Amino acid sequence: MLIDNKKFTEVPSNNKSVVAFNRTVFENLKILIDSFEVGVIHDISFDDGPTAKMYTEPLTFSKSATGYTLSFILTDVPEKDIEANRYKEVRPLVNEILQTAGLETVKKYMSFLDDWIPNTNYKKGRRIIFNGVPYSVVSDHTSKDGQTPDKTPLLYDDLTKEREAKPWDEKVTYNKGDLAIARGIVFISKIDGNKGNEPGFGSAWDYKK
C-alpha cells in the first residue's frame, strides 16, 4: 500500500478497514508509527488503486516468535474535514498576500488574517483581525491585555472604515490606503511614507476606484 506516496507492505487481508504490518526488528516499526499519526489526514491507496483521504488509529500491537505485528484502523475523512485542512494549508500564504493587497481584497478575505494576540510584537503596517474586523498596525509596539484594536485607534487602523479624502498636501506623510484629492480627483496611496509625491505622477498613487 501507499501512505502519503511511500510504499509499505502490509499483511494480506480482505479487510481494507484494518491494516497490519509485520517487522522482525522492533526499531523498524517506528517508521510506520510515525506515518500513521492520529488525527492527521493521509493519502492512502491499495494495490495501485485510487487514492483516498483517511484517518488512521492504532489498533493492536503484538509480539510473536518471528517478530512484531502492528495494526491500524482506517476511516474515511469527512468532506468538511478535508475542506478545513485545505484552509489550514493555504492560510499562511493568503495571509502574506493580504499584507500588500488592496483594501477591497483584504475585506473579502480577511478571515485569512492572523488574529490579534496580546503580548505580541507588531510591526507598523502589519494587518491583523480582531472580532471579525481587519486592522492595520499604526506603529511598532507590543500588544497588551485590555488594549484591543477596537479600543486603541492610535495603535490600530480599522480598515473597514471609509477614509476621509482631503486635498493633497506636499508636507503631509501619507501611508498605504490614505486618500488625497488632487485636481478634483481622489487618489489612494500605494505605499507607506508617501511624502512629496504629487498624485497622478509617478507610482506612489493610484486612482480611487
Assess whether 146 and 187 both reside in one domain: no
Q: Is 191 a domain residue?
A: yes
What is the average pLDDT across 106-116? 91
Q: Is 83 a domain residue?
A: no
Assess whether 47 and 66 both reside in one domain: yes
178 CB-near residues (< 8 Å, 6+ apart): 163, 188, 189, 194
Here the contacts of 173-180 (C-beta below 8 Å, separation 24 or greater) are 175/125, 176/125, 177/103, 177/136, 179/208, 180/205
pLDDT higher at 150 or 177? 150
What is the average pLDDT across 113-135? 94
Which pLDDT value is given to residue 167?
94
Distance from C-alpha of 20 to C-alpha of 194, rounded to nearest angstrom: 65
Domain boundary among 24, 56, 77: 77
Assess whether 168 and 145 both reside in one domain: no
- pLDDT(115) > 90: yes
- Cell numbers describing residue 129: 483581525
Domain boundary among 19, 46, 77: 77
Which pLDDT value is given to residue 209?
67
How many domains are there within the chain?
Answer: 3
Q: Which residue has the cell 477596537?
A: 150
Assess whether 49 and 15 both reside in one domain: yes
SS3 category, 41? coil
Give the CATH number, domain containing residue 195: 2.10.10
Task: Quote the domain boundaries for residue 109.
Answer: 90-158
What is the average pLDDT across 68-84? 89
Distance from C-alpha of 79 to C-alpha of 57, rounded to nearest angstrom: 19
The chain-wide mean pLDDT, for the chain, equals 88
Assess whether 73 and 6 both reside in one domain: yes
What is the average pLDDT across 109-127? 93
Give the CATH number, domain containing residue 124: 2.10.10.20
pLDDT higher at 143 or 39? 143
- pLDDT(72) > 70: yes
Q: Is 151 a domain residue?
A: yes
Digit-coded pLDDT (tens) for 159-207: 888 777 899 999 999 887 788 999 999 998 888 889 999 999 999 999 8
Distance from C-alpha of 40 to C-alpha of 38, rounded to nearest angstrom: 6
Domain boundary among 45, 77, 109: 77
- Cell numbers describing residue 88: 489550514
Digit-coded pLDDT (tens) for 2-53: 888 888 888 888 888 899 888 888 887 777 787 777 788 889 998 778 899 9
Q: Could you please report the per-residue DSSP string of 77-132?
A: PPHHHHHHHHHHHHHHHHHHHHTTS-HHHHHHTGGGSPBP-SS-EE-TT-EEEETT
